[in-house]
Structure formats: structure tokens, C-alpha cells
Structure 1
Amino acid sequence: MNKRLLLQIREGLLAIALTGLIFYFYSRMESSLMPYYWAVFLWPLLRFALRHGAAAAGIYGGIAGLVCGMISIPISDWLSVIVFAMIPFISVLVMGFFAKYTQKTLNNRRYSSTSLNIITGALLSNVLFYFLRFYIGPLAMGQESPLNIMTGSFWISSLVMTVVVSLLFITIAKLKPSFLIPKRSKYLSRKETSALLND
């Protein structure tokens, strides 16, 4: 097993653990925060997606969804775990489609392009998560959604999460590029990675 894959597995397991931990505490406060839903537990997975790409993000996102589903839904109701947790969490793979150019533009210090990639990825990932969790899921299960797509709270929740995660990732990436670029990035040559991370 090569070092890049080992790093990916280690970071993937850490992202799952952090996501599960944040979700556990959020689920205890969820009812008091309604009619808004703040998906802060996705942040470790979104960062992982920008570091390792869509395929890995989809796999680890699905596993994280399974973990979070078992925290909030009786495990005997496996269909609800899949529909309301696993499938929505896989939406983080969309952020992974922007990993290559986020890392390349960050490497070249083209910060406006880096920012655009992060914002676009965060927007699409968040909106897709909310759409799957609060529209497609309830529709498929014949249930009423706690966050109706036709209400302002649905769009405010997803857009606020997009803005916050975008600002956070952009700010940290400018100060510390290794936040988004792993030591053995598959999108950059070893020479490029070493030069950037040693700056």
C-alpha cells in the first residue's frame, strides 16, 4: 500500500470521526435551531473532498452518512438511514470535482480562481445535500419535510453554510496552503508540492 493511499485512508477515517462527533452534538440541539438547519458537520468531509477528490469523498461521505444515520435513526429502520443520511452525505463528492483546479490555482497563487473553485464547490455540495435530505428523501419516503424547499429557511440554511465554509476554507488556504494540499497530492508533481508546502 503506497503512502498516498495510506494518507487518504487516515484522513478519511479522521473526517468520518469528526463528522460523527459534530453531528452527535448538533443532533442534540437540532430541534431548538429549527426552522433552520446548519450542516456544520459536513465541513471535515468537504475539506477531505478538496484534498483527495470526488471518488474518495463519495466513499467516505457515504460511510460518514451511515455513521450519522445510526446516531439519529433507529438502526432497525435501515431504509431511512440510507435515504436520509447515506445518500445526502454522498453529496460531498461534488466538492471533490473541484479538487484538482483548487490545488493547481492555489499552487500558482491564483487566489481569485482558487476562491471561485471553493465557492462553486461549496454551493453545489450544500444545495445538493439540502435537496436530497429535505426534498428527495421525504418525497421518496412519503413524509413531510421539516425544512420545506419552498420556504426561505431552506435556502437561507444552505446559502449561509456555503458562505461560511467558503470564507473559512479560502482564508485558511491562503495562510496555510497545506490545509487543502496534501503532502503527496495526486494533482501536483512532487516538485510542485514540495516547493509550495516548504514556503
Structure 2
Amino acid sequence: MAAALRIVGYGNLGLIVPALALANACVLLAFFATARDSIQASGGRSSLGELTLAEQIRLSLSILWRIVLVMIVASLGAAAIGFSSFAPYLLSGLDGMAFDQVTHLGRFWSAAIAALVLLIIVNAEGNGGRVALFAAVKDLGRHALWLGAAVLVLGTINVALGYGQALVRTAIWHFWQISMVDQPLKNLIYVVFILGFAMLRLWITLSILTFGLKQSYARGG
């Protein structure tokens, strides 16, 4: 759904803001599902699977506006200290958890946002579903050693995935130039390409972050 909404938004500038907002909410829902499986696969316990779809949507919207606020503050702060050309990319931190960022620094920023979102979810699970941004930020500091290392590893992998995705995108473009298949099939191939990398990026993101968080609890830091 997020992939389809992004295509609609970028294809119609009049719909880009609501389409991308809904796409970000869908990314969070996908993040929940992947986080649940990743936590359970690492030997942990998660109550995310017990939430109804309505509860997941409410939780995602509650997290969404807080993360958007974080990204706006970070963007304004970057612009204020002289990084005005890079500042707008900080607004894509949430989107970048599943979809490719434009800059390398943006890819590391998306990894950091993903770590914060994971801690918000973990904190909410143990707090009756109440979302607490500042508590999650405090937890981020408490787990800074292992989660910081996980963010650096994830950011590096995101950079490599960006190059890989660019190569596949170029191959698809060349295929479109020489292929005689119908346009609907070409569109389907492109959607599968976007969705495939989005799913891969989410799985890698949660696998690395949950491993880092587990190690932090086990070893401290």
C-alpha cells in the first residue's frame, strides 16, 4: 500500500502531501508486523500480534505525528546551522526505513529514526500502549552503545542497498526500452521492484536493530 501511495503521490503533485502521509502510516504498519516477527525470531516476546488492525492504526498515527515532529525539528536545526541543502532530506527519515533515500547521510538518518521508532514501540508495549517519545529517547541513550553500532551497520548496509537498487532500476529501464511487453506488465514489474526492495530493507532494518537491542539488554550499554 505504501509503495502504491508513493507512486500516486509522485505522479500527481496535487496529491503528494496526503499520499505520502498515508504512505508513512503504512510504512509504520509494515514496521509493526516486521518488528513482531523479528522480536519473536530473536527469542523475545511481543504483544504486537495481539493488537487489532484498528489498534495498530491508532498506534501508528500516534507515533507518526511525534516522529514527524522530530524530523521537522531536526530539519530546521540543520538549516539553522548552515546545512540548508541537506535539511529537507531529514524529512524523509521515516519513509527511508522502507524506501531508498537520496543521500548517504539520509540513509544513516533513516537508520536512526528506525531505532527510535523501535524503542517507542517497545516502550509502548510495556506501558499499556501509551506512546512516550521522551521515554524512548531516554532509552535510546541507555542503549546507545549497541544500538549506535547497529545504526552505523544499518546505515552502511542502506548505502550498499542504494547502489544495488540503482543497478536494478537501470536494468529495468533498459528492459523497458527494448521490450515489446504491454505497459501494464511493465508497471507491474516496477511495482514488484519497489515492493521487493522495501520488504528487504524492512527485514534487514528490524533484524539488525532487534539484534542490537537484545545484545544491549544482555550485555548492558
TM exceeding 0.5: no
Greater Cα radius of gyration, structure 1 or 2: 2
